[in-house]
Chains A and B, each alone.
Chain A
Amino acid sequence: MQRQRPLWMLVPGGVLAALLIVVPLAVAVQISLLDLDQYSFRQWLGAPFVGVRNYHEALTRSPLAHSILVSTGYAATVTVVTLPLGVAAALATHNRFAGRAVVRSAFLIPFVLPSFVVGTLWRIILQPAGVANRVLDPLGVPTGLWLNGPRSFWALVIVQAWAAWPLVYLLTLAGLQTLDRDLHEAAALDGAGWWAKLRYVIFPCLRGPVSLAMLISFLHDINNFALPFVLFGVPSPHDVEVLPVLTYIESFQNFRFGLSAAMAVLSVALIAVPIAVYLRAVKLDVGEEARTT
């Protein structure tokens, strides 16, 4: 059977994938093995080959380990925070009510704003004498520094969660739309209350779209460069020294292109882990039938 498949039709996609993914990745790996810096980039192929020395430096003598911790910690926190928000918003706007279209559109505003705009807005809001502190102070909430120091981590979580929850909402809503109406009726006929219906009928069906939302959200958070860059500037405050900004600084401020490429390759390896887990869990590649049979 397999031999008769018109595999040649994969050629255009294959060429594109090679050009857009394989070649840049191969170049990144090659650069990561060179001592490429401001002194050698003019003839970058002639830069001294240093083997895995950049990887060794990245892992032992750079803030990479700290950055991985900050990035994964913040991405996981944002994912956990946005999950209930997104699911609740999807459930609330699933059934018809007057003005539903307006509410649904409004929910998407944070998501469609570019990270650069979100960062700039929140940078103004979170200034020491900004709106956030002026609102929180009369409420008795301790005010202070949001864009540096320990609180900056939470500032990043809050702003990213604000921008990212609509993704979970959108995918959950899409999942809800695919639920068969009969399923709701059958549950109602069996006398299920709203919680029982939610717990035993709706949630199990949402597992696929919600896990996808969590994965995309997590990866998006880990890879988000613009938001922390605009929000905190460079050099990054210690508590928000995230991976993409660190890689950027090594490349474009310190001109350690080889070291930076090694960090980039390591971060590809890092984000491959959740992708592999997800692919195994949902078996995306074999389709719906394979799961049920």
Chain B
Amino acid sequence: MTRRRTPSVLAIAMIAISALSACGSGGGSSGTGKTLHVLVSANTIYPEQQRAWFTDVSARFKRETGATLTFETFATPNDELTKIQTSVLSGQGPDVYSLGTTFTPTAYATGAFLVLGRADWDTIGGRDKFLPATLGISGPDRDHEVGVPFTTRPFVMAYNKDLLAAAGIDKPADSWDGLLAQAKRVTTGGTYGLAVGYGDSFDPWKFVWAMSLQAGNPLVDKGRARLDDATTMKAYQTYLGWIATDHVVDPAAVGWKNAQALAAFGAGKAAFVPMVSATSKVSLDKSAVAGRYGYTIMPTIPPGATALPAGGVGAASILSGDNLVVARYTRNKDLALALIKMLTSQDLQENYYRTFGEMPTNAQAAASLRGDPALAAMVESASRSVATPFTGAWSQIQLALVNVVVQSVPSVSTGRVDSAALRSLLGQAQSSAQAALDKAK
């Protein structure tokens, strides 16, 4: 333990020194001659707009601080992790990173990012500037926050208005059981009630997490994993049952990624596609269902219930989006904070939404969008989003949750949800999740 403490003391000393030197520099043009490096996720839907945005933001940053801003992109979270690893080991690399919300706990666990003090928050513009819900996954508690909310991508459900009207359904259900009943009514011939990507590497855990939490099980409770709980079992049975025994999902969906589920919905072959974000609008507006679909929040009443049970949390979505973090090794902390202040300002956030369709985290920017009927579901989902457990073990838990679905697919494709096999898989998931939590520091 003592061996580990020495470098962290050194790191704190270095931060203190850099903070002191930052105090001395002051002023708007303190960045002249300096360069700030930023790593963000490559936007595959709007690559050209993203390049233009980089240019605009860099120009504005130069005007405001005198410093040069350079952007670098990564394609996958693994690319980003590799970049973080090499940067952290060598002590040089991007000054500011944009991280996915569910990856933020892992990044926090590395200890490689700046914990934001009160003064830092003030420099950025204060915590009050943000939608309160978006701050839910910035750190394990208020005193140890590393992430500043940059964008929010709440998950919602798209529905086909024509198919629902034809089946005599006036509005989408607010419970999972109700949704299943509606899906059954819509399923006929080649049209299915639901489009779900069972072969996706991420989506399945989000369903299981939401259903479990709604039933009162947050999956991680005070350092204990609760993946072998009856609520989680019920969540898996429901999720897998849709395709295996309820037959409301195209059997081919056992191999689908989220994009294929969206494509099936876009082709008018499914009435609902749950777990989509505002970015789905881009492809749906070009699809066969353009103008004939709507968004609504996903059910918030757990399977087997008609009302939220005691202890249940009516989560509409995981708290999804991107956080900005500052590397500990940066020598440009003041510039990094100045950039974050700029990126989370009202006008830039509104502009970001108009360009990329990603929802703002800035409270004023969010308020100005509230009137847009097309966004009503996203705004509601954002306010009812709940953060996933903040633990460095979350990536492992996520993987364990998805693994249960992957290993269940063979039996699901034969039309069975094998409870005994599911229980055994959940037992394995529970022990690997608990092992990961036991190592968490």
| A→B interface (CB under 8 Å) | 37-44, 46, 127-129, 144-145, 147-150, 233-238, 249, 252-255
Contact = CB atoms under 8 A, between A and B. Distances in A.
Contact of A128 (B81, B251, B392, B441): B251
A145 B409 contact: yes
Interface stretch (B104-112, B114-122, B145-153, B206-214): B104-112
B305 interface: no
A37 B406 CA distance: 25
Given A43-B7, A235-B399, A255 B410 contact: no
A233 B407 CA distance: 12
A44 B81 contact: no
Contact of B255 (A43, A46, A147, A150): A147
A235 B436 CA distance: 16
A144 B410 CA distance: 10
B396 A254 contact: yes
A38 B88 contact: no
B252 interface: yes
Interface in B387-401: 392, 395-396, 399
Contacts of B252: 127-129
B413 A145 contact: yes
B7 A148 contact: no
A236 B410 CA distance: 13
Given A41-B85, A252-B81, A237 B110 contact: no
A253 B395 contact: yes
Given A38-B109, A235-B402, A149 B392 contact: no
B406 A148 contact: yes
Q: Most B CB atoms within 10 A — which of A144, A233, A235, A236?
A: A235
B280 interface: no
6 smallest beta-carbon distances between A and B, as pairs: A149-B410, A129-B252, A235-B403, A128-B252, A148-B409, A39-B441
Given A46-B3, A128-B251, A235-B402, A41 B395 contact: no
7 contacts: A43-B4, A127-B255, A128-B413, A147-B255, A252-B81, A252-B82, A254-B436
Contacts of B112: 42
Contacts of A238: 407
A46 B4 contact: yes
Contact of A234 (B201, B409, B440): B201
B392 A38 contact: yes
A288 to B, nearest CB: 45
B20 interface: no
A41 B106 CA distance: 12
Contacts of B402: 235
A269 B254 CA distance: 37
Given A37-B439, A38-B109, A46-B3, A253 B406 contact: no
| Residue in A38, A46, A148, A254 with the greatest tally of chain B CB atoms within 10 Å | A38
Contacts of B111: 39, 42
B199 interface: yes
Interface of B: 3-4, 7, 78, 81-82, 85, 88-89, 106, 109-112, 199, 201, 250-252, 254-255, 392, 395-396, 399, 402-403, 406-407, 409-410, 413, 436, 439-441
Nearest to A237: B406
Contacts of B82: 252
B427 to A, nearest CB: 14
Contacts of A40: 4
B109 A128 contact: no
A38 B399 contact: no
B407 A39 contact: no
Nearest to B10: A43
A190 to B, nearest CB: 58
A126 B112 CA distance: 42
A38 B409 contact: no
A147 B199 contact: yes
Contacts of A234: 201, 399
Contacts of A41: 85, 88-89, 110
Given A128-B413, A148-B410, A255-B395, 15 more contacts: A38-B106, A38-B109, A38-B395, A40-B4, A42-B7, A42-B110, A44-B89, A128-B252, A148-B254, A149-B409, A149-B410, A234-B201, A237-B406, A237-B410, A254-B396
Nearest to B400: A235
A249 B399 contact: yes
A129 B392 CA distance: 39
A147 B410 CA distance: 9
Contacts of B89: 41-42, 44
Contacts of A235: 201, 399, 402-403, 406-407
A254 B439 CA distance: 11
B399 A253 contact: yes
Nearest to B411: A149
Contacts of B106: 38, 255
A153 B201 CA distance: 20
A128 B414 CA distance: 12
Contacts of B109: 38-39
Nearest to A126: B255
B82 to A, nearest CB: 8
A42 B84 CA distance: 10
B439 A39 contact: yes
A253 to B, nearest CB: 5
A205 to B, nearest CB: 47
A39 B391 CA distance: 11
Contacts of B409: 145, 148-149, 237
Nearest to A35: B439
Nearest to A44: B89
> Could you say which of A43, A144, A237 has the most chain B C-beta atoms within 10 Å of its C-beta?
A43
Nearest to B260: A127
Contacts of A147: 199, 255
Nearest to A124: B255
A72 to B, nearest CB: 22
Given A41-B85, A128-B254, A147-B199, A253 B396 contact: yes
